[in-house]
């Protein structure tokens, strides 16, 4: 609870920091101080809630799982800010506001992790989304950034509408927004007694959710937005924001709609198949690494969808936690290298291993993790979400399909490794990495490797 308050307050603090602090360095330090404070507060929250779950105002329930996720996601965000704070400040003139917006997004993340009322879910989604529309367009003079912002806003507004419509229909059927209330639980006890209003409501929620996590066929905004946004913000949108939407919806679909899974499992299954095939196959044809990573984030969302698909499996909860952390760190690690380059195409990376062995090595670890090679955290992330489905005994075919798609993903991830290590070229840099940058990137890679040996560290 304190994390929610502090993230909101610190967002305001950052806005004032822009007024009173003149140097960009000071603003960056304020932001870093803020995220560290947030991390400390969420650890304290975790200790307070580790014994028993607590409900606030009948709107939010904070339990062990929620507060543990808050710690993990804050840690990922801290890693993101540590690596990217200079690049964020370099995007435009209003650096304090970019950091403020990031803290507001974090506030939305905490709300999404802890809601027990659909209204808070809606509020969380909105707090999460609106700052992102601004961040996408923060490079004001770049037409692609403007396009990204407008596209994101229009499509986002549309999906918010669908989300509200779904909630309204479910309210109509149950008479309650509180997902723990008897009325609400009773409605979704079995499929036969569920009203048709709820059925449509669930599907609308699912569509809105699919939009937020860029699941096909609702993914069309993703490549343009991720590609057009300033490179400093893309990893934030593609990782921390996306995984928290997963954690939000896994609660809703497993706790509340778990018993009526027959109503929506097929829809999720078709989303998974489409997402995996479109994400992976299209990524193969990209020439720009930034765009490839956009499609890769679609493809990875396909794997994360498995955790929603595997209803009421404890493995699914563990899996999405591990996937969130590992996928976020790996993507951040890759983007940290991309942003240092002058040319974002594959050819721009030729010969990087000779010129910057540390960058090439850390990017390789991150890419191997995204493929899901053992000894990196990515392997266990995929392992847990897939074995959650295998555990259910049916739908084995979709798991086999997913691993074949993982093999396709090896093609485009390894293509980067090929450029860096096996081809010769200039690998022109935009900015030279400092020792501090390299240390952080190595730390990031080491965490990924550590999670590849001891994945249980993130289960809390």
CA distances from 311 to 247, 249, 281, 394 (A): 14, 12, 28, 12
Burial of residue 281, with CB atoms counted within 10 A of its CB: 0-12 exposed, 13-18 middle, 19 or more buried? middle
Contact between 455 and other proteins (CB under 8 A)? yes
State the Cα–Cα distance between residues 432 and 328, nearest whole angstrom: 24
Among 119, 143, 157, 407, interactor with other proteins by CB under 8 A: 407
Instruction: Choose one: 150-158, 231-239, 262-270, 398-406; the region binding other proteins (CB under 8 A).
Output: 398-406
H helical segments located in 175-220: 182-187, 196-212
Residues 6+ apart with CB under 8 A from 85: 28, 31, 32
The distance of closest approach from Cβ of residue 72 to other proteins in the complex, given in angstroms and rounded to an integer, is 17
Q: Closest distance between other proteins and the C-beta of residue 388, in Å?
A: 10
Give the nearer residue to other proteins in terms of CB position, either 342 or 354: 354
CA–CA gap between residue 168 and residue 177 (Å, rounded): 9
Draw the binding track, 292-331, toward other proteins (x: CB under 8 A; -: no contact): -----------------------x--x-------------
User: Minimum distance between the CB of residue 284 and other proteins, rounded to whole angstroms?
Assistant: 12
Size of the site for other proteins (CB under 8 A): 31
Three-state DSSP class for residue 405: helix
314 or 431, CB closer to other proteins?
314
Residue (20 or 411) nearer to other proteins, CB: 411
CB nearer to other proteins: pick between 258 and 374: 374
**Contact with other proteins (CB under 8 A): which of 82, 267, 390, 443?**
390
Q: Interface with other proteins includes 411 (CB under 8 A)?
A: yes
Name which of 24 and 345 has its Cβ closer to other proteins. 345
Under DSSP, is residue 449 helix (H, G, I), strand (E, B) or coil?
Answer: helix
Told to check if 285 binds other proteins by CB under 8 A, we report no
Q: Would you count residue 41 as binding other proteins (CB under 8 A)?
A: no
CB 330 within 8 A of CB 451: no
Contacts for 7 with CB less than 8 Å, ≥ 6 apart: 38, 103, 104, 106, 107, 110
Per CB under 8 A, the segment of 17-25, 106-114, 291-299, 376-384 that binds other proteins is 376-384
Q: What angle do CA 434, 436, 439 make, to 5 degrees?
A: 115
Sign of CA dihedral 204, 210, 213, 217: negative
3-state DSSP call for residue 356?
Answer: coil
- Find the binder of other proteins among 69, 152, 309, 379 (CB under 8 A): 379
Binding range to other proteins, per CB under 8 A, among 160-168, 223-231, 249-257, 449-457: 449-457
Q: Does 358 bind other proteins (CB under 8 A)?
A: no
Max Cα–Cα distance, the chain, nearest Å: 66
* Contact call for residues 444 and 333 (beta carbons, < 8 A): yes
CA 156 distance to own-chain centroid: 16
**Residue 306 neighbours by CB under 8 Å, 6+ apart:** 272, 316, 319, 385, 386, 388, 389, 402
Q: Measure the CA angle with vertex 69, ends 131 and 116; round to 5°.
A: 75
Among the residue ranges 88-96, 276-284, 379-387, 426-434, the one whose residues contact other proteins (CB under 8 A):
379-387
Q: Which is nearer to other proteins, 27 or 417 (CB)?
A: 417
Tokens 């951040």 belong to which residue? 332
Exactly one of 374, 431, 434, 439 binds other proteins (CB under 8 A); that residue is 374
Q: How far is the CB of 393 from other proteins (least distance, A)?
A: 7
Nearer to other proteins, 1 or 373 (CB): 373
Task: Burial-class residue 292 by CB neighbours within 10 Å (0-12, 13-18, 19+).
Answer: buried
Q: Which is nearer to other proteins, 10 or 412 (CB)?
A: 412
Judged by CB under 8 A, which of 155, 375, 429, 443 binds other proteins?
375
Fill in the per-residue mask, 419 to 438: x = in contact with other proteins (CB under 8 A), - = not in contact. Answer: --xx----------------
450 binds other proteins (CB under 8 A): no
Whether residue 128 contacts residue 109, with contact meaning beta carbons closer than 8 Å, is answered with yes
For residue 89, the minimal CB distance to other proteins (Å) is 35
Residue 284, interface with other proteins (CB under 8 A)? no
Residue 260: C-alpha distances to residues 224, 367, 375, 389 (Å)? 36, 38, 38, 17
Of 363, 406, 440, 447, which one interacts with other proteins (CB under 8 A)? Answer: 406
Q: C-beta of 351: minimal distance to other proteins in Å?
A: 13
Stretch that binds other proteins, among 40-48, 49-57, 428-436, 450-458 (CB under 8 A): 450-458
Query: What is the contact surface with other proteins in residues (CB under 8 A)?
Result: 315, 318, 368, 373-375, 379-380, 383, 386-387, 390-391, 393, 396, 399-400, 403-404, 406-407, 410-411, 414, 418, 421-422, 454-456, 459
């Amino acid at each position: 609870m304190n994390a929610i308050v502090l993230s909101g307050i610190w967002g305001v603090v950052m806005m004032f920091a822009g007024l009173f602090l003149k140097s960009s360095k000071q603003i960056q330090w304020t932001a870093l101080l803020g995220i560290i404070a947030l991390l400390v507060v969420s650890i304290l929250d975790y200790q307070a809630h580790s014994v028993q779950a607590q409900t606030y105002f009948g709107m939010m329930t904070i339990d062990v799982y929620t507060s543990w996720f808050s710690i993990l996601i804050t840690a990922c965000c801290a890693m993101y800010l540590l690596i990217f704070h200079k690049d964020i400040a370099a995007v435009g003139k209003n650096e304090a506001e970019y950091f403020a917006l990031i803290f507001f997004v974090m506030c939305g993340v905490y709300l999404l992790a802890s809601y027990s009322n659909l209204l808070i879910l809606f509020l969380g989604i909105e707090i999460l989304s609106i700052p992102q529309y601004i961040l996408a367009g923060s490079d004001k003079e770049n037409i692609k950034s403007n396009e990204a912002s407008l596209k994101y806003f229009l499509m986002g507004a549309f999906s918010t509408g669908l989300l509200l419509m779904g909630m309204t229909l479910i309210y109509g059927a149950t008479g309650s927004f509180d997902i723990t209330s008897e009325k609400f639980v009773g409605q979704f006890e079995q499929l036969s007694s569920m009203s048709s209003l709820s059925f449509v409501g669930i599907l609308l929620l699912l569509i809105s959710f699919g939009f937020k996590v860029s699941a096909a066929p609702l993914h069309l905004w993703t490549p343009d937005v991720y590609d057009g946004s300033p490179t400093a913000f893309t990893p934030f949108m593609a990782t921390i924001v996306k995984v928290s939407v997963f954690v939000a919806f896994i609660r809703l679909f497993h706790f509340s709609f778990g018993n009526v899974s027959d109503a929506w499992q097929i829809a999720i299954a078709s989303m998974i198949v489409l997402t995996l095939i479109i994400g992976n196959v299209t990524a193969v044809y990209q020439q720009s690494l930034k765009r490839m990573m956009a499609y890769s984030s679609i493809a990875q969302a396909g794997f994360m969808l498995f955790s929603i698909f595997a209803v009421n499996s404890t493995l699914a909860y563990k899996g999405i936690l591990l996937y969130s952390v590992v996928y976020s760190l790996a993507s951040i690690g890759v983007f940290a290298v991309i942003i240092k380059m002058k040319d974002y195409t594959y050819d721009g990376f030729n010969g990087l291993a000779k010129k910057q062995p540390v960058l090439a090595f850390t990017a390789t670890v991150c890419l191997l993790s995204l493929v899901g090679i053992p000894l990196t955290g990515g392997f266990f992330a995929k392992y847990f979400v897939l074995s959650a489905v295998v555990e259910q005994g049916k739908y084995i075919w979709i798991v086999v399909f997913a691993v074949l798609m993982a093999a396709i993903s090896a093609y485009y991830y390894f293509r980067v490794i090929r450029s860096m290590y096996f081809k010769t070229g200039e690998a022109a840099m935009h900015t030279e990495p400092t020792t501090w940058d390299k240390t952080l990137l190595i730390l990031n890679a080491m965490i990924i490797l550590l999670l590849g040996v001891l994945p249980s560290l993130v289960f809390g």
